[in-house]
Amino acid sequence: MQIALRVKRGPDVPTTAPRNTPRVKLAMLSLALVVVIGGLWVVLRGIPTLSSQLSFAARTLAASTHAPDNTANAGNVNVVIFIIDTLRADRLNAYGYDRKTTSPHIDALAEEGVLFERAYAPAPWTLPSVASLMTSRFPREHGVVSTRTRFGSRVQTLPMRLKQLGFTTIGLWANAIVGAGLGFDRGYDFYRESFTNEGRQVYAVRKMYPGRPFFLYIHNIEPHNPEFFAPPHTPGFRDVSDSVRKQIAEHYKQYRIATWLDFDHGRTPGTTEVEAIQDQHVQDLAALLDTYNELYDACVRLADDRVGSTIQALKDRGEWDNTLFILLSDHGEEMHGHGGWSHDQSVYEELVHVPLIIRFPNGQYAGRRVNDLVSLVDVMPTVFDVLGKPEPATDARGSSLMPLVKGETKRDERSFYIPSMRLNVMSYYRPWKEQRGDINVVIRRGNWKGIWNVEPDTFELYDLRTDAGEQHNLASEHPELVTPMRQYAETWYEGCGSQSSEGQQATEANELDEQTRRNLRALGYVD
């Protein structure tokens, strides 16, 4: 719903001040303020608390009137990073999904931009993955791997670096795991929790912070917890009753509570025996898999609509042509593919293969698809390369993707490449602890994918050409591949530990504030 606020001056409006002018003016101003703030409370209902809604609205009186902003400087490149939380690449039509129409707007974006077919999240869950995106460092280097860690004092995040270049920096986020309460607000002029981030919110905040150029970070929650966020009815998708949604929600909640129970209560993970509880809830969720898939796909469609309205808002403001728009996911989702549920428990493809689509200013390089292996740690150096300012990213672990986009080079398929890792300190499930340990390193060579499980010192090897679901471990059949891949992974991992200087490693965090804890509890992160 859009609300247009107009002030008309007609013949019935007096041209001279009536008697009792101060009282009349005060009444009129009070009434107008109530109407404006009340209307904008509806427009900006994505902001979670009443106080923040009113504060947000009061500074955005003209937010809902979509007229082109003629102050835009076409010579400045704006940067937008749009994260769709928990989105698997294989659920987008642009990546080959054909069961449902989930992503018409994202598909159109891919046609106007560059799609990376084999992009990897640096970690299999939000906190370390987004930390890696914003620093171009892997989890072992930045150390932000739990709700009790924060960025080191000298870490320069992407918004901090862009701010130093004169960018107005804006963040709208729906997942508290990357909220201000966990230190992700560094470098932003405006950083606000908003459970609905789409065109209206984008237009409003741009009116409030009209500086040029701008960096806009949007982090939407769908399709995380689709039993909560999937609309009651989505055309083309089967409706799911509230009672079934509540069943899914309860099983998911109890499974997550059991998995993080010891960490959340200050104990060493594994202290409490919860395996039987976890197994039961995973079995119950698996029995509802078809329904969960329906909700998940409907949620992807909702996320796609939010992408479309955001792009339209930028067009309405006259800012689309000179905007670098980067769409990605922080990680995927396991739906019993390897015996588990949710995310953070492994580095299989369903968790770390993510969409990455970059639309360049004026649609340059439109329609290209890049098959080379890439990682989200490559995003930051790519941004500064596009801006013609590579110096702020000289310390990046990743590399600019521009040579791949331009077709100037390709990654050698015979060489080794490490795009992702898992460093777990929070969750626990005994069979996975024994089989995989808590540290897992992904190593790719062409179509081969290796996983070095550091603590048990075991190695998994999969041929993704013939086994996309990673069900057949071929390590024992190909020692000629396993030995050099393991050696490369060991050297890489040791190097990660020596990369960070003083002030770069994560620090211990204070206790979570109650608002952050409440939001994390709603997503199943804490008890």
Q: How confident is the model over 330-349, as pLDDT tens digits?
A: 999 999 889 888 888 899 99
At 328, is the secondary structure helix, strand, or coil?
strand
The pLDDT, as a whole number, for residue 70 is: 33
Average pLDDT (323-329) is: 98
DSSP string for residues in 280-323: HHHHHHHHTHHHHHHHHHHHHHHHHHHHHHHHHHHHHTT-STTE
Average pLDDT (53-67) is: 33
**Residue 191, beta-bridge partner list:** 171
Whether residue 199 has pLDDT greater than 70? yes
The pLDDT, as a whole number, for residue 58 is: 34
The pLDDT, as a whole number, for residue 210 is: 86
The pLDDT, as a whole number, for residue 504 is: 64
Pairing relationship of beta strands 439-445 and 448-453 according to DSSP bridges: antiparallel
**Residue 422, beta-bridge partner list:** 440
The pLDDT, as a whole number, for residue 452 is: 98
Stretch (H or E) spanning 495: helix 479-497
pLDDT band, residue 525 (cuts 50/70/90): low
The pLDDT, as a whole number, for residue 336 is: 87
Q: Residues of the chain with pLDDT > 90: what percent?
A: 71
Residues 6+ apart with CB under 8 A from 264: 257, 526, 527
DSSP string for residues in 145-165: -STTEE--TT---HHHHHHHT
Condensed to tens digits (0 to 9), the pLDDT of residues 108-145 reads 999 999 999 999 999 999 999 999 999 999 999 999 99
Cβ contact 47:56 at 8 Å: yes
Q: Which residues of 316-343 are buried (b: 16+ CB within 10 A; e: fewer)?
A: bbebbebbbbbbbbbbbbbbebbebbbb
**CA nearest 252: which of 145, 333, 148, 355?**
333
Q: How far apart are CA 219 and CA 85, in angstroms?
A: 7
pLDDT band, residue 78 (cuts 50/70/90): very high
pLDDT band, residue 524 (cuts 50/70/90): low
Averaged pLDDT score across all residues of the chain? 84
The crossing angle, in degrees rounded to 10, of helices 242-259 and 289-316 is: 90
Greater confidence (37 vs 393) lies with 393
Structure tokens belonging to residue 334: 């396991």
Structure tokens belonging to residue 443: 């190593």
Cβ contact 120:374 at 8 Å: yes
> How many other C-beta atoms lie within 10 A of the C-beta of residue 104?
15
Q: Residue 364: phi, psi to the nearest 5? A: -65, 145
Condensed to tens digits (0 to 9), the pLDDT of residues 205-227 reads 999 998 789 999 999 999 999 99
Note the pTM of the prediction, 2 decimals: 0.84
Average pLDDT (57-84) is: 54
**Identity of the amino acid at 383:** V
Average pLDDT (292-320) is: 96
Condensed to tens digits (0 to 9), the pLDDT of residues 409-447 reads 988 888 999 999 999 999 999 999 999 999 999 999 999
**Residue 150, beta-bridge partner list:** 507
Range in 12-26, 129-143, 281-295, 323-337 the model is least confident about: 12-26
**Residue 119, beta-bridge partner list:** 354, 374
